[in-house]
Structure 1
Amino acid sequence: MKNTQNTAKTLIKSKKKLLKITSAITLTAASFFSSQAAAETILHAFNWQYADVEQKAQEIANLGYKKVLVSPAYRSSGSEWWSRYQPQDLRVIHSPLGDTNDFKDMIQALKSKGVEVYADIVLNHKANESWKRSDLNYPGSDVLNEYAANSTYFNSIKLFGDLTQNYLGAGDFHPAGCITNWGDPGHVQYWRLCGGSGDAGLPDIDPNNWVVEQQKNYLQALKNLGVTGFRVDAAKHMTNYHINAVFTPAIKQGVHVFGEIITSGGSGDGSYDNFLAPYLNATDHAAYDFPLFAQMRSALGYGGSMNQLVDPGAYGQALTGSRAVTFSITHDIPTNDGFRYQIMSGSDEYLANAYIMGRDGGVPMIYSDHNESNDGSRWVDMYKHSDVVGMIKFHNAVEGTGMQVMSSNDCILLFKRDHKGIVGINKCNAGQDVWVNTANSGLWWYNNYRDTLDTTSVQNISSQWHKFYLPPRQARMWLKE
């Protein structure tokens, strides 16, 4: 088990323009674009049991979420959260988070409240079980014996295939060998993630015809259950050929697909240029907007300027809105020593959330865990923090409207969403008066704009020049009443 743990930790450390619609890709483009038509907030219910999500369905809907991303649904074992990212068998859902029946019940409960389900998926590798066996037959004899001993139950939760036999063998994996050059896509995509000290590493899947067919069967089965989105874990470690072979136009129809490719920045950054840019060019999928995340950390940090957030996409530091999933934290960052430097202070993260929830562009995601990172429960119940709830209210009210920047400097950014709302963010330690010429601004005079974060703050414009006061280290999200 030690090798499995080391390899998982290494996996964690390692992870971590516009769509052109032509007649040749009409179905692909249409299915992608339809999934992007509404930039509705995703709750990342990280490592939540499916029954727990089901029980909270009404609360989740009441808070304004329209989508929930849940942790991987397949056969996996082990109580640690990272064990969910070591798949044993795609043919059944059976893990400490629940089984296929729990997954179905969760989907139906959320669907009845108008909330969709996204599934986190792992297609690059299988569980490292070299500590107990040398063969690459998956799920292996121990699991097959468990299936046989309770065949009625396991066949009742089967997604596809024949549970009396392994579905992958030695010929379905790349040769053993550890990644040694993390800047070389060939190394990263063809060799194994290893934990050192002789660890054999996570068996790296060869996307041959048989493998691709099994993975397509899995995705289609989840889609048949009602899943409407897929987060592709460790997409950096998959070739774009593999990704496109699995995500056929039929599977993508009506489904939002986005990849996890961690970068240190946008255009000009090696990790972006070598991995994320080729992925965006070769697929029509969305991706985590790590370029914007890096830009927010820079702008909000010491020596940064809020001017950096006026239009970061104009110089390659944010993804095109229709292909972006925006965030202030993901599960890889606090749970991985190699990426913890990207954690923002609590106040900076609050301001970043106001920015991604207030701006036009991207699908925002709110992360909420069970303190898997041991950070003092910082993100436990984050999904229902009062400030987050206020941000979701603003986001839902202005969704689909345009965005116009009214003022910016090193300390502040003030922008409006047509006439419906105004967002003000002040990163500095002193309050800021911001005077704006409201003539021809499109804002409605003699109407209250009330802050969804602090309902005592109200703006009522009654003259050409209006002063907006932004308190220190605070955000305002004024919504027209």
Structure 2
Amino acid sequence: MRGWRMRAGCALLLAVSGCSAAPLATAQPTTQPTPSAAASAGSAPTGVVVHLFEWPWKSVATECRDQLGPAGVAAVQISPPQEHVVLADQGFPWWQDYQPVSYAIGSRRGDRAAFAAMVTACHAAGVKIYADAVVNHMTAQLYGVGSAGTKFTQTGYPGYDGAADFHHCGKSISDYSNRDEVQNCDLVGLADLATEREPVRQRLAAYLNDLLSLGVDGFRIDAAKHVPATDLAAIYAKLAKTAGGTAPVLYQEVLFSVSEPIQADEYLPSGAVLEPRYGPDLARALRTGGSLANLEGLGDGSGTPLVDYKPSASAVVYVDSHDSQRGGTTLTYQDGALHTLAGQFMLAYPYGTPLVMSSFTFDSYDAGPPADAKGVTLPVSCGHGWECEHRTLLNLVAFRTAVGDAPVSQWWTTDDQLGFARTGKGYFALNRAAAAVTRTVETGLPAGIYRDRIHGTAVTVDASGQASLTIPAQSALAFDLTSR
């Protein structure tokens, strides 16, 4: 429906971070209490997470076995596994997956059996599974049939009482300065769940617990900003432990601006949050005309310009996401080498948990993944409708693991190059210019011959810790103690 296309153009993807209607001067936001840290049921993600956006379950399993596990990737973020609307008349757009019909595990990516097999295969490869969970709303459709065959109406879904379990604000969100409207009105026509109600909380927790029973290790909480933090905390408190006996990982989508009443800090007691400013800041610095010097101190509050990012241990960062790559604020696969450089910097620099995007090719905002005539997603074949850009970054996973939490030192920048050491553990440098550049640098590493993890070439560090680096055009170098 047209309302959802408006969402695709701005309302959810960008409005929550600033692309919204002008605030009404008379808006009176209410105060939202912050949940107690004691109510937290989740943990923050660690390691490198790869987002296999819209990948079918069988392809995810194969990628875990053949690529991600061997590279040392910690986890995969998968697209929402629940039954969703099927919008054949709109060309099966990507966002139909974010309109739940029921909590049956049956999407265009595969059924429950395929999902369970995928989780098992990824775990066997040492890769955890984080599911994208839609808990704010159901569909924006008046009626229809879902991907698993369930009939529905806009407030009539399995397990819900349409008269009581949904908010009836009577309009879509337009004023992002009004807390009540943002959290109690419909997100561009999507039926808004009354998450303050205990039956709704129980239903959502039952769905998440079902995924945990299948071996899922954690969740990305979609549109968390549109659900009061206290409601989410109450839902999280009902979650079971993972199969490994730990609290599930939780990271929440709270796309905010400093002028809005709803801030990410409200959600931090329950888990990590996505840091929406990181990708745009990285893009501005790396694009032509941007200053690489602005990347110094990124995330610790000492950079230029100063940005008060969320604490590193509670922040999930990304070069681009499935939302931002359609909004123009971040670099994407369409930026080629610059996008790769941004990803390499993210993995080499010690801020946040990196979430690496893996896209399908698109030439319009609404375009869905490669699919058959019935809208069922086709197996992934890199280079044939699937970008698989994450594979260009897998060789940096070992570098990130090797340098651990070693601080940055020996920072330097020029107009088109930068470099820094991860003190005593490794060294990284990048070059965005169209020609190679040679520079002698202080690495802080023991003398020896190291293997550059990106190109496989040798780097010699002398007895004084210096190395003469030739950084290829629009590329980077990274080496560490374990590559010596």
Aligned residues: 421
CA contact (8 A) 1:124 1:238 kept: yes
Matched, 1:178 2:186: no
Matched, 1:405 2:409: yes
Task: Tell me which amino acid in the other structure corresponds to 1:189.
Answer: Q
Q: Could you tell me how far 1:114 is from its partner in structure 2? A: 1.3
Task: Tell me which amino acid in the other structure corresponds to 2:474.
Answer: R
CA contact (8 A) 1:405 1:416 kept: yes
Distance 1:461 1:72, change over 3 A: same
Matched, 1:212 2:201: yes
**Residues 414-452 of structure 1 deviation map (CA, whole Å, 9 limit, x = unaligned):** 2222333211123345655544456xx3x111x122211
Q: Could you tell me how far 1:93 is from its partner in structure 2? A: 1.0
CA contact (8 A) 1:67 1:115 kept: yes
Partners of 2:230 and 2:157 lie apart in 1 by 31
Matched, 1:327 2:321: no
Partners of 1:56 and 1:113 lie apart in 2 by 10
The equivalent residue for 2:181 is 187
The equivalent residue for 1:396 is 401
The equivalent residue for 1:295 is 281
1:42 corresponds, among 28, 34, 49, to 49
The equivalent residue for 2:128 is 116
TM-score scaled by length of structure 2:
0.78
Partners of 1:215 and 1:190 lie apart in 2 by 17
Partners of 1:291 and 1:235 lie apart in 2 by 17
Q: Could you tell me how far 1:28 is from its partner in structure 2? A: 3.8
Identify the structure with the greater helix proportion. 1
Partners of 1:469 and 1:181 lie apart in 2 by 52
Distance 1:3 1:382, change over 3 A: same
Q: Could you tell me how far 1:457 is from its partner in structure 2? A: 4.4
Of stretches 163-172 and 102-111 in structure 1, the one that deviates more from structure 2 is: 163-172
Unaligned runs of 5+ in 1: 17-23, 146-162, 195-200, 264-268
Distance 1:4 1:291, change over 3 A: closer
Task: Tell me which amino acid in the other structure corresponds to 1:444.
Answer: P
1:83 corresponds, among 93, 96, 119, to 96
The equivalent residue for 1:477 is 478
The equivalent residue for 1:444 is 446
Partners of 1:8 and 1:404 lie apart in 2 by 39
Partners of 1:164 and 1:73 lie apart in 2 by 17
The equivalent residue for 2:328 is 340
**Residues 206-230 of structure 1 deviation map (CA, whole Å, 9 limit, x = unaligned):** 1111101111111111112111110
Distance 1:309 1:164, change over 3 A: closer
* Correspondence 1:149-188 to 2 at 5 A: 166-175=159-168, 176-188=170-182
Distance 1:177 1:449, change over 3 A: same
The equivalent residue for 2:214 is 225
Q: Could you tell me how far 1:374 is from its partner in structure 2? A: 5.1
Partners of 1:57 and 1:300 lie apart in 2 by 31
* Correspondence 1:365-404 to 2 at 5 A: 365-372=355-362, 380-384=387-391, 387-398=392-403, 400-404=404-408
* Correspondence 1:279-318 to 2 at 5 A: 279-280=266-267, 283-312=269-298, 313-314=300-301, 315-318=306-309
CA contact (8 A) 1:77 1:96 kept: no
Partners of 2:16 and 2:361 lie apart in 1 by 20
Partners of 1:305 and 1:13 lie apart in 2 by 25
The equivalent residue for 1:155 is none
Task: Tell me which amino acid in the other structure corresponds to 1:286.
Answer: A
Distance 1:217 1:388, change over 3 A: same
Partners of 2:407 and 2:125 lie apart in 1 by 30
Partners of 1:310 and 1:219 lie apart in 2 by 39
The equivalent residue for 1:73 is 81
Q: Could you tell me how far 1:188 is from its partner in structure 2? A: 1.9
Q: Could you tell me how far 1:358 is from its partner in structure 2? A: 0.8
The equivalent residue for 1:262 is 255
The equivalent residue for 2:462 is 461
**Residues 338-378 of structure 1 deviation map (CA, whole Å, 9 limit, x = unaligned):** x2243353222122111111122322122113324559979
Distance 1:390 1:233, change over 3 A: same
Aligned-partner SS, 1:334: helix
The equivalent residue for 1:58 is 65
Q: Could you tell me how far 1:299 is from its partner in structure 2? A: 1.7
1:352 corresponds, among 326, 329, 342, to 342
Task: Tell me which amino acid in the other structure corresponds to 1:285.
Answer: G
Task: Tell me which amino acid in the other structure corresponds to 1:291.
Answer: R
Partners of 2:39 and 2:186 lie apart in 1 by 35
CA contact (8 A) 1:432 1:469 kept: yes
CA contact (8 A) 1:356 1:364 kept: yes
Q: Could you tell me how far 1:251 is from its partner in structure 2? A: 4.4
**Residues 106-156 of structure 1 deviation map (CA, whole Å, 9 limit, x = unaligned):** 1111111211111001111111222x48xxxx99xx8269xxxxxxxxxxx
The equivalent residue for 1:153 is none
Partners of 2:126 and 2:279 lie apart in 1 by 29
Partners of 1:347 and 1:330 lie apart in 2 by 17
Of stretches 365-374 and 93-102 in structure 1, the one that deviates more from structure 2 is: 365-374
Distance 1:106 1:15, change over 3 A: farther
CA contact (8 A) 2:452 2:479 kept: yes
CA contact (8 A) 1:76 1:86 kept: yes
TM-score scaled by length of structure 1:
0.78
2:426 corresponds, among 421, 424, 429, to 421
Matched, 1:234 2:239: no
Distance 1:355 1:249, change over 3 A: farther
Unaligned runs of 5+ in 2: 18-35, 87-91, 366-382
Distance 1:184 1:164, change over 3 A: closer
The equivalent residue for 1:94 is 106
Q: Could you tell me how far 1:294 is from its partner in structure 2? A: 2.5
Distance 1:250 1:87, change over 3 A: closer
**Residues 447-470 of structure 1 deviation map (CA, whole Å, 9 limit, x = unaligned):** 122211112241322336544443
Partners of 1:8 and 1:456 lie apart in 2 by 44
